[in-house]
Amino acid sequence: MSNTVYDPNSLQIHFLDMGNEKYGDSVLCQMGARTILIDGGHLSDLKGSGGTDSIPKQLGDLLGGTPCRVNLLVVTHCPR
């Protein structure tokens, strides 16, 4: 059991832009140095399209470059 105390004021939630694709929400949560990525978008989100930056670029912008690291990846459903 960790005795680490997190400052709730450090919580940041980012909704990544999926463009026009349905059912592909991706959310990045940051609390201090910890990061949680909830879903990673679609395979097509590896490249930007229609004025939307790619998911790797969006994550890199938020996390200080690529490659970037997350502490936990939560996958809520299988791709179709």
**Could you list the mean pLDDT of each consecutive 10-residue stretch along the chain, which spans 80 residues?**
68 83 79 88 74 85 86 81
Instruction: Decide: 48 and 57 in contact? Cβ < 8 Å.
Output: yes
Distance CA 14, CA 7 (A): 18
Task: State pTM to two decimals.
Answer: 0.74
pLDDT of residue 17: 76
Residues 6+ apart with CB under 8 A from 77: 39
